[in-house]
Amino acid sequence: MSHILDIQIYYEDTDFSGVVYHANYLRYFERAREHILGADELVRLWRDEQKGFVVYKTTMSFKDGAVFGDIVEIRSSARLESEYRIVFAQRCHRKSDGRLLVDAEIEMVCIDGQKRPIPIPLGDRRHSVLST
């Protein structure tokens, strides 16, 4: 599975130097994962089944910075690392020139209502986090 999400860089995204503040890339990657998994499905999983996702581990490499006015592409792909872990390879590229800005790998686990790890819900395609 792969997915691309365009994000406009606003002034509020930047730090004093005019470059996107490093922590904002985590927000962009989170937004892209929400698009992949589907907000409605994430809400349904928690409400109906008490299943949710949490970040277990993140690795990020910063290559260059986006600036105010840029449009960036968040390119995401996911793989099931184990029955308990899903790994998202996420890259941020400047849309105008394709330059890689940030390279990240984000590992997530699924938890139940008591915050215990549980297998990633695969279910039928209608109710699968990997169906998109």
Contacts of 6 (CB under 8 A, 6+ apart): 71, 72, 73, 74, 95
In whole angstroms, how far apart are CA 62 and each of 1, 41, 129? Answer: 24, 31, 28
Q: Would you please indicate which residues are annotated as catalytic (active-site) residues?
A: 15
Q: What gap in Å lies between CA 18 and CA 67, rounded to an integer?
A: 6
Q: Are 95 and 70 in contact (CB under 8 A)?
A: yes
